[in-house]
């Protein structure tokens, strides 16, 4: 499966990148955040597999950090994209597909009566905040500590270049902690514009947790009581957990929901959906982008969402995620290792016990990649519908060997130097 070729090409590309790309790479792909031997550059992807710049093939359990839902280079979805390219993509205005897509999404997502399209998840979450402020005429937003909502100055996790003013008008609470949510809302006082929430707690580096019904319900009640907007940031979890907004699973409907990542199977488009209540405010704000009305990604999104609506893909994601989770648990135990697998099975996170600086996680991921499986040491992974039972079984074979290798290496493992800045 894995060709095991040396990564000379990747090294060369990294050197070139160092000269012309700040830090050699940035954001979640910063070289410092991934194991040393991980490829930085890829050549292609097909179905559930990637080929790196050196020609090594691996099963990809990251799905491009979420955007890939039905497999890379999906023939049907990409054909829809290419057909629109042949007719022009970024035109002076949108095609009818924009309306069709808004109709499709509002037809699938219970709380939604309207849609606005943009390019990245950050566009959609930022727009949600702007709509909430326009609707309420207030400024303060309540957010859970550690939740990721994008990389704009108001929400980026790093502080470089971010001013105190960028972070003004925010009060933080603890996810799933009703008392802290109530306290944050109390602090916001009569200035509460919105409560933001991810569909479940999917913060990096720490165990994931499903949302407690009581927390989601209380967020809804507090927004209703104070005339504020409830925003679910479904950018990462959207359509991997449900065919509706993810909080439909706990029976709570937001006023606004932000979408992105997989809604066009990797083609660049994101969306803000809202209820009628928020429509006047959404009409009043000025938001736009040169590429926001381009039609090819909309055509790809229509093809993707038809498959979301009409196939049993969710059942398959769950079945494969469950197979992976139970198989990993068995194999870790057999190697005498204690792991924690958290979050929904479709978006698994694997962390090791007794691993405060992630040295075990990094070792295991590198061992997995040597055996042809791309995993992640601190970010949730993603199950994709192009994966097969045979792929999961191959991942489990690799895991058995990688756990055994880790078990043997534990006494000799040192700290991961590249992570020193993060863990002190
Ligand atoms: C929950 C959540 N919100 C917002 C974003 C930002 O999306 P994008 O990277 O497309 O701007 C992400 C990206 O990972 C996300 O996971």
Q: Give the pLDDT confidence of 165-181 residue by residue, as tens digits.
A: 999 999 999 999 999 99
Find out whether the beta carbon of 198 lies less than 6 Å from any atom of ligand 1: yes
- Average pLDDT over every residue of 277-284: 98
Q: How many residues does the chain have?
A: 424
Find out whether the beta carbon of 125 lies less than 6 Å from any atom of ligand 1: yes
Indicate if the pLDDT at residue 3 is higher than 80: no
pLDDT tier at 31, thresholds 50, 70, 90 = confident
Angle between helices 213-226 and 178-188 in degrees, nearest 10: 20
- Average pLDDT over every residue of 197-217: 97
Task: Please state the φ and ψ torsions of residue 247, each to the nearest 5 degrees.
Answer: -75, -5
How far apart are the C-alpha atoms of 282 and 230, rounded to whole Å? 14
Find out whether the beta carbon of 246 lies less than 6 Å from any atom of ligand 1: no
Centroid of ligand 1 to alpha carbon of 381 (angstroms) = 14
Centroid of ligand 1 to alpha carbon of 398 (angstroms) = 30
- Average pLDDT over every residue of 59-88: 98
Residue 396: per-residue pLDDT: 98
Residue 4: per-residue pLDDT: 52
Closest ligand 1 atom, residue 121 Cα: 7
Find out whether the beta carbon of 68 lies less than 6 Å from any atom of ligand 1: no
Nearest residue by C-alpha to atom 7 in ligand 1:
121
pLDDT tier at 32, thresholds 50, 70, 90 = confident
Centroid of ligand 1 to alpha carbon of 84 (angstroms) = 26
For the sheet with 256-259, list strands across it.
114-118, 270-274, 256-259, 229-233, 192-197, 140-144, 170-173
Closest ligand 1 atom, residue 65 Cα: 14
Label residue 372 left, alpha or beta by phi (over 0 means left) and psi (-120 to 50 means alpha): left
Centroid of ligand 1 to alpha carbon of 396 (angstroms) = 29
Find out whether the beta carbon of 233 lies less than 6 Å from any atom of ligand 1: yes
| Sign of the Cα pseudo-torsion (354, 325, 28, 417, in order) | positive
Closest ligand 1 atom, residue 28 Cα: 14
- Which residue, 301, 274, 409, is CA-closest to 355? 409
User: 363: which 2 tokens?
Assistant: 């070792």
Residue 1: per-residue pLDDT: 41
Residues 6+ apart with CB under 8 A from 278: 131, 132, 135, 229, 255, 256
Residues 6+ apart with CB under 8 A from 63: 69, 262, 381, 382, 383, 384
Buried residues in 290-322 as b, exposed as e (16+ CB within 10 A): eebbbbbbbbbbbbbbebbeeeebbebbbbbbe
CA 213 to chain centre: 22
């Amino acid at each position: 499966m894995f060709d095991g070729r040396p990564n000379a090409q990747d090294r060369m590309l990294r050197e070139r990148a160092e000269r012309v790309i700040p830090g050699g790479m940035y954001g979640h792909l910063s070289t410092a955040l991934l194991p040393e031997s991980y490829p930085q550059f890829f050549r292609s992807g097909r179905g559930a597999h990637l080929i790196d710049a050196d020609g090594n093939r691996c099963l990809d359990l990251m799905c491009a950090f979420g955007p890939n839902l039905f497999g890379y280079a999906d023939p049907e979805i990409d054909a829809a994209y290419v057909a629109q390219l042949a007719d022009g993509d970024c035109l002076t205005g949108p095609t009818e597909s924009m309306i069709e897509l808004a109709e499709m999404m509002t037809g699938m997502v219970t709380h939604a009566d309207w849609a606005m399209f943009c390019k990245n998840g950050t566009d959609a979450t930022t727009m949600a905040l702007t709509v909430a402020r326009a609707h309420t005429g207030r400024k303060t937003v309540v957010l859970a500590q550690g939740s990721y909502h994008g990389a704009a100055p108001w929400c980026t996790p790093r502080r470089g270049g971010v001013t105190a003013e960028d972070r003004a008008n925010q009060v933080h609470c603890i996810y799933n902690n009703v008392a802290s949510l109530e306290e944050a809302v109390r602090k916001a006082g009569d200035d509460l514009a919105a409560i933001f929430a991810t569909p479940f707690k999917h913060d990096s580096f720490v165990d994931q947790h499903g949302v407690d019904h009581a927390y989601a319900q209380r967020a809804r009640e507090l927004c209703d009581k104070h005339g504020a907007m409830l925003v679910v940031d479904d950018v990462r979890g959207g359509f991997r957990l449900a065919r509706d907004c993810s909080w439909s699973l706990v029976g709570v409907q937001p006023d606004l929901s932000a979408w992105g990542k997989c809604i066009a199977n990797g083609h660049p488009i994101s969306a803000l959906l809202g209820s009628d209540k928020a429509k006047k405010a959404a009409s009043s704000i000025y938001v736009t982008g040169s590429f926001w009305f381009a039609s090819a990604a909309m055509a790809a999104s229509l093809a993707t969402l038809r498959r979301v609506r009409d196939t049993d893909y969710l059942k398959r994601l769950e079945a494969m995620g469950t197979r992976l989770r139970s198989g990993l648990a068995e194999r870790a135990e057999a190697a005498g290792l204690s792991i924690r697998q958290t979050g929904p099975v479709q978006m698994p996170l694997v962390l090791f016990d007794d691993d405060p600086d992630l040295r075990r996680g990094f070792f295991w991921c590198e061992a997995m990649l040597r055996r042809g499986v791309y995993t992640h040491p601190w970010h949730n992974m993603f199950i994709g519908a192009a994966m097969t039972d045979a792929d999961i079984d191959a991942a489990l074979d690799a895991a058995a060997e990688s756990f055994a290798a880790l078990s043997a290496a534990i006494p000799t493992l040192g700290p991961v130097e590249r992570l020193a800045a993060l863990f002190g």
